């Protein structure tokens, strides 16, 4: 009887150890979404997105945004230049799916005239997603980059409800210069339904697979990113 109890206790601790190892292994597989800013990418098209005019001018300005894709990291990059700064906004699979779902909800509200005047709360009406962004003034200046959420929502401009992506504030901590943190203030990206549909088309998984195959890029095994 005593021998049986010893074996039972030993089996229990071995089972706990196996579970712990399994969980640790899973955590090691998961990686934060932090793509290489200057990694090779294939161009997948252009979209028009609107931004606020430079303060204090009112209204919106339309900017051409270049889209590219890195199949190894499964990351779509939106690159644009605004107020002398070059931005690269990166979108993971979960982020792209979040955009498409949010856009569908916005279009339903649009058809049903279901918009309120929610102020800042309306800017996250359709949820958020984890993203990654870099910003740089010139090729010789510091390349700042950081993970930061994006919110999906809507806002009224000249009495029209625009679909909006709000890029939340991002903070870059320079590993080579203590105390030289660089902060990117939040900003918003405005879309008509047609402009949002154009970006959703570039985020479509079938489109990305077809485009990269035609460009000679081979698909790599999927990466299990920990979005947070």
What is d(CA 120, CA 50) in angstroms, rounded to the nearest whole number? 18
Coil, helix or strand at residue 8: helix
pLDDT at res. 14? 53
Domain segments of the chain: what residues? 2-31, 33-226
As given in the structure block, the two tokens for residue 139 are: 């090729």
Q: How confident is the model at residue 176 (pLDDT cuts 50, 70, 90)?
A: confident
pLDDT at 145: 96
How crowded is residue 74: how many other Cβ atoms within 10 Å of its Cβ?
21
Q: Are 196 and 226 in contact (CB under 8 A)?
A: no
Residue 91 has pLDDT above 90, yes or no: yes
Residue 21: the pLDDT is 43
Among 20-29, 126-135, 136-145, 166-175, which stretch is predicted with the lowest mean pLDDT? 20-29
pLDDT at res. 73:
95
The answer to whether the predicted template modeling score (pTM) of the entire model surpasses 0.85 is: no
- Contact between residue 78 and residue 55 where contact means Cβ atoms under 8 Å apart: no
What average pLDDT does this structure show over 211-223? 57
Position 177 scores a pLDDT of 73
Q: What is the pLDDT of residue 220?
A: 37
Which has the higher per-residue pLDDT, 160 or 177? 160
What 3-state class would DSSP assign to 87? strand
Whether pLDDT at 28 is above 70 = no
Supply the angle between the helices 93-111 and 193-203 in degrees, to the nearest 10.
Answer: 150
Structure tokens at 7: 């074996």
Q: In this predicted structure, which of 26-40, 71-85, 98-112, 147-161 has the lowest mean pLDDT?
A: 26-40
Hey, which of 20-29, 32-41, 219-228 has the most confident mean pLDDT?
32-41
Please give the share of the chain, as a percent, with pLDDT higher than 90.
67
pLDDT of 95-153, one tens digit each? 999 999 999 999 999 999 999 876 788 999 999 999 999 999 988 889 999 999 999 99
- Give which of 224, 202, 185, 219 is closest to 44, Cα–Cα: 202
**Would the pLDDT of 161 be above 60?**
yes
What value does the mean pLDDT take over residues 212-220? 61
Residue 217 pLDDT level (bands cut at 50, 70, 90): low
Quote the percentage of the chain above a pLDDT of 70: 79
Q: Higher pLDDT residue, 66 or 219?
A: 66
Whether the Cβ atoms of residue 82 and residue 215 lie closer than 8 Å to each other: no
């Amino acid at each position: 009887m005593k021998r049986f109890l010893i074996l039972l206790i030993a089996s229990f601790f071995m089972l706990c150890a196996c579970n712990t190892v399994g969980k640790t292994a899973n955590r090691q597989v998961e990686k934060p979404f932090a793509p290489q800013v200057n990694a090779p990418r294939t161009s997948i098209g252009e979209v028009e997105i609107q931004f606020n005019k430079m303060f204090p001018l009112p209204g919106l300005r339309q900017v051409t945004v270049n889209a590219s894709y890195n199949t190894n990291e499964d990351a779509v990059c939106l690159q644009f230049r605004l107020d002398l700064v070059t931005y690269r906004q990166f979108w993971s699979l979960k982020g792209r799916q979040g955009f498409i779902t949010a856009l569908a909800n916005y279009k339903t509200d649009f058809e049903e005239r279901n918009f309120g005047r929610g102020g800042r709360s309306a800017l996250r009406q359709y949820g958020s997603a984890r993203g990654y962004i870099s910003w740089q003034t010139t090729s010789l200046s510091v390349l700042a980059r950081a993970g930061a959420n994006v919110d999906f929502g809507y806002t009224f401009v000249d009495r029209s409800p625009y679909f909006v992506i709000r890029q939340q504030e991002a903070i870059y901590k320079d590993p080579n210069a203590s105390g030289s943190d660089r902060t990117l203030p939040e900003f918003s990206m405005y879309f008509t339904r047609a402009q949002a549909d154009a970006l959703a088309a570039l985020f479509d998984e079938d489109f990305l697979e077809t485009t990269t195959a035609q460009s000679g890029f081979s698909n790599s095994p999927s990466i299990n990113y920990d979005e947070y």
